[in-house]
């Protein structure tokens, strides 16, 4: 029983003796960077980090939609300005007649003409009429400067008149030709066959010519004397190309067929009166 109390007593005394043997001198606070106060450990098992490293989250920039939209718009406009415009089918260089519909635009080089008195806004029109003032159609070209074109065709109207010392008398022996497609490439179509030698007209005989002269003098409200003089001056004419008769070009028409931006077919006509 005594041994039971003696053993704890011996242990307590030993503990108090060891504490008394320790250095009681205060070392003061640990100073960061002081090598004398740095505690080192060589055993790798105590150097193991059990706490996962904290990875700081970098702040994400807040999207400025207003500036972003402006920047995108400016970028789009800059690209649009830098991008070359789609080349026209044919260039409309120099002076000439420009006819611009909403679906297609045409250009007649070197042609000066005035619109007809009843001309409408071409953006909503299916055709346009002009009076030729200056320039030559035969041997010229018609240029398609914009639009998706499938065919360009032409026809013309001729007239017959008599010209002598009595004046000029227009006869009703002209002809309206049928449409024929024009040859061309890259939007440039050739205009030909409008010279006097190739103009098509009615093949009228002597009796038809005399009847036409009578109708023309009456429609002109000429005196009876003047009617007889005209009839006598033309009684021996056998052909519309025999002097003093001649064939002349009254008007030329072009028909342009194609498809608009939505793929819908369209047809436009242009007429130039001479």
Residue 260 token pair: 């608009």
Angle at the Cα of 157 from the Cα atoms of 156 and 163, rounded to 5 degrees: 135
Q: How confident is the model at residue 33 (pLDDT cuts 50, 70, 90)?
A: very low
Structure confidence by residue, pLDDT tens digits, 208-231: 999 999 999 999 999 999 999 999
Measuring CA to CA, how many Å separate 231 from each of 108, 225, 228? 41, 10, 5
Helix axis angle, 224-233 to 206-219, nearest 10°: 160
Distance CA 142, CA 111 (A): 10
Distance CA 227, CA 239 (A): 20
Mean pLDDT of 30-39: 46
Half-sphere exposure of 151 (CA within 13 A, CB side): 10
Q: Which residues contact 114 (CB under 8 A, 6 or more apart)?
A: 130, 131, 133
User: Can you tell me whether residue 150 is helix, strand or coil?
Assistant: strand
Structure confidence by residue, pLDDT tens digits, 44-103: 444 444 333 434 444 444 444 444 454 454 544 443 344 333 333 445 567 999 999 999
> For residue 187, what is the DSSP state?
T
Residue 235 token pair: 């009684």
Mean pLDDT of 222-250: 95
Structure confidence by residue, pLDDT tens digits, 112-146: 999 988 777 888 899 999 999 999 999 999 999 98
Q: Cβ-count burial of 198 within 10 angstroms (0-12 exposed, 13-18 middle, 19+ buried)? A: exposed
Among 9-13, 27-31, 90-94, 241-245, top mean pLDDT goes to 241-245
Q: Among positive and negative, which fits the CA dihedral 195, 189, 268, 115?
A: negative
Q: Which residues pair with 152 in a beta bridge?
A: 256
User: Can you tell me whether residue 234 is helix, strand or coil?
Assistant: coil
The phi, psi pair for 68, rounded to 5°, reads: -65, -45
Residue 210 token pair: 């005399």
Measuring CA to CA, how many Å separate 21 from each of 9, 12, 15, 17, 25? 19, 14, 10, 6, 12
């Amino acid at each position: 029983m005594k041994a039971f109390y003696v053993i704890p007593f011996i242990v307590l005394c030993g503990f108090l003796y060891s504490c008394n043997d320790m250095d009681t001198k205060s070392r003061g606070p640990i100073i960061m960077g002081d090598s004398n106060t740095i505690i080192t450990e060589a055993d790798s098992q105590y150097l193991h980090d059990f706490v996962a490293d904290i990875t700081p989250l970098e702040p994400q920039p807040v999207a400025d939609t207003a500036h972003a939209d402006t920047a995108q718009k400016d970028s789009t406009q800059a690209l649009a300005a830098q991008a070359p415009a789609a080349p026209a089918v044919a260039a409309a260089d120099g002076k000439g007649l420009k006819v611009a519909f909403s679906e297609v635009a045409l250009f007649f080089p070197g042609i000066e003409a005035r619109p007809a008195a009843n001309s409408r806004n071409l953006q909503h029109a299916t055709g346009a009429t002009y009076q030729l003032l200056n320039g030559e159609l035969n041997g010229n070209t018609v240029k398609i400067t914009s639009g998706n074109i499938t065919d360009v065709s032409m026809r013309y109207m001729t007239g017959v008149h008599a010209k002598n010392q009595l004046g000029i008398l227009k006869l009703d022996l002209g002809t309206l030709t049928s449409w024929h497609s024009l040859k061309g490439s890259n939007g440039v179509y050739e205009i030909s066959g409008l010279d006097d030698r190739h103009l098509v007209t009615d093949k009228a005989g002597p009796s038809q010519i005399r009847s036409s002269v009578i109708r023309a003098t009456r429609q002109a409200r000429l005196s009876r004397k003047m009617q007889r003089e005209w009839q006598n001056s033309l009684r021996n004419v056998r052909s519309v190309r025999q002097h003093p008769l001649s064939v002349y070009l009254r008007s030329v028409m072009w028909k342009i067929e194609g498809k608009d931006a939505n793929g819908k077919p369209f047809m436009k006509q242009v007429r130039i009166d001479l």
